[in-house]
Amino acid sequence: MSYVAPLKDMMFVLNELAGLAAVNALPGCEDATPETVEAVLEENAKFCSEMIAPLNWPGDQAPSSWRDGVVTTTKGFKEAFKAFGDAGWQGVQHPVDFGGQGLPKLVATPCIEMLNSANLSFALCPLLTDGAIEALMTAGTDAQKKTYLENLISGKWTGTMNLTEPQAGSDLAMVRSRAVPQGDGTFKVFGTKIYITYGEHDMAENIIHLVLARTPDAPEGIKGISLFLVPKFMPNADGSVGARNDVHCVSIEHKLGIKASPTAVLQFGDHGGAIGTLVGEENRGLEYMFIMMNAARFAVGMQGIGVAERAYQKAVGYAKDRVQSRDLTGSAGPVTIIHQPDVRRMLMTMRAQTEAARALSYVTAAAHDAAHHDADAATRKANQAFYEFMVPIVKGWSTEMSIEVASTGVQIHGGMGFIEETGAAQYYRDARILTIYEGTTAIQANDLIGRKTVRDGGANAKAILAQARQTVADLEGSDSADLKAIRGRLADGVQALEDVIDFVVGNARSDIKGVFAGSVLYLKMAGIVLGGWQMARAALIAEQKLTAKSGDASFYRAKIGTARFFADHFLAQASGYRAAIVEGSAGVMALTEDQF
């Protein structure tokens, strides 16, 4: 089954929940009119479905390969990537000054979702390049920007992030790669980096590695890490590709999923030293790398939503085609399995979670735009706080959700889901990495507790809950049985989440292990409650549209039904999460090490 972008839902979320009109009114966002955005999304949907999606299955069956230091990508990837760059898709959200389209993050976000739905392995290359662009825009010198940004934004060159080493995974304080100054403004970089996505490939004429390393006099720990720009080929003065640099791919990994994406082991400096230049100031490398990582974490959340959408579409197609058993209320013969209540339940779990995560992520993207473009300083600050709180939730909850959704898709296929030829298993295998790379779910949860909740005493979290409570109040006047049910579930969920926030803030100092024992549950609960908040907003707007007899009545009724399902089946879980977090730490820490 081919991928069909859910444009109607995307445009609904953009316009009604994320406030596209308000983003369009921001300084610098004047080009993002509803008409322009709809045209951009339609063109992107066509490109992703016709050019990129057909390469997804072949990439899983015939992955990228390594031979003598050279990586050859799946047949068709190179041509598709050139078409991607030529069409300007790498530059949707990047500055016009460097060849981008300069559109808001809110517009780029559905484009990113569609690309990931179409082909997760392919989409990883632009994702890493986006991160490199963000880092150079923030900390690069004028010379670095001039040399590299236009080539990266055009898709002519691609970018990577080089953090992990064999002994340094999540603990970057253990990074041991070295950068030795040469006295002419350059450094020679030595070391081994692992898990480098698209660290070597044949889709672009140059690859720009952003590498964490230590200078000779750097202090130990994370305070002694600097960021270096190390190109595969040294650029000539005229911007053309010059001599080969001393960075080589010694192998690529054999993986459970995302097989077409080459995950490289890179060796820097085996033949005298890889030439690099410092990005920003010495010993501030981790700070700059986190700029890349924050952009990448949000994008990985979109990967989760993209894979979930594709798995859902696959499951719906199968459920409508597969004939098996009679209808429970009686039928002349066997019916398609979509007639069976439990198949409907499974499809609704897939649909409701995907739509809730999409809504929450698009609203988060709109906050990013307001944080960067609004004329009022206080508004910028409030939106930045909202965005920063949401990033670990978008990354952590959306990716955990994607595994569940993809697994449910396999279940709907029954035995055929376990057979590779149907394609359902690929989404399950591909999704499995999403909760691991760019910071595991536990790392996102630690961030949500430490930096985003405890640091300000829960003030920002409570401010967000106040917005959700306003939606509860807005629902109060409705006579709809569905909206009344949604209102009750949301009110209970918001209160349960506030109880958890109070527990986290109140006990982080006195019982830190007890608090962190529930950290991932807190993140998931926040995703469910805040995603449920967005679904409640969507249901209210849909009800208003139906009352006004405005637009597609079937779409709005489906939106209300999906929101009701989410409230009854997911928001209803909030009280259980509250109990597990507030009262469940004793069981987590009950056994001694020897008892495991």
Catalytic machinery residues: 438
CB 226 within 8 A of CB 214: yes
> What angle (nearest 5°) sits at the alpha carbon of residue 164, between those of residues 159 and 170?
125
CB 392 within 8 A of CB 425: no
Here the tokens at position 380 are 């910028």
**Residue 563 burial by Cβ neighbours in a 10 Å radius (0-12, 13-18, 19+):** buried
Distance CA 170, CA 122 (A): 25
Q: How far is CA 241 from the centre of its chain?
A: 32
In angstroms, the Cα distances linking 437 to 61, 399, 408, 442 are: 23, 10, 22, 11
> What phi-psi label fits residue 74: left (phi over 0), alpha (psi between -120 and 50 degrees) or beta?
beta
In angstroms, the Cα distances linking 93 to 105, 125, 153, 158, 474 are: 6, 16, 10, 16, 34
Distance CA 524, CA 403 (A): 13
Q: Which residues of 263-289 are buried (b: 16+ CB within 10 A; e: fewer)?
A: bbbbbbbeeebbbbbbbbebbbbbebb
> What angle (nearest 5°) sits at the alpha carbon of residue 428, between those of residues 58 and 355?
105
**What does R_g of the chain's alpha carbons equal in angstroms?**
24
Here the tokens at position 321 are 């085609």
Residue 384 CB partners (closer than 8 Å, separation 6+):
367, 371
Distance CA 105, CA 287 (A): 22
In angstroms, the Cα distances linking 58 to 61, 115, 165, 265 are: 5, 16, 31, 24
CB 65 within 8 A of CB 72: yes
Distance CA 304, CA 299 (A): 9
Report residue 268: phi and psi, to 5°.
Answer: -105, 125
CB 248 within 8 A of CB 265: no
DSSP 508: T
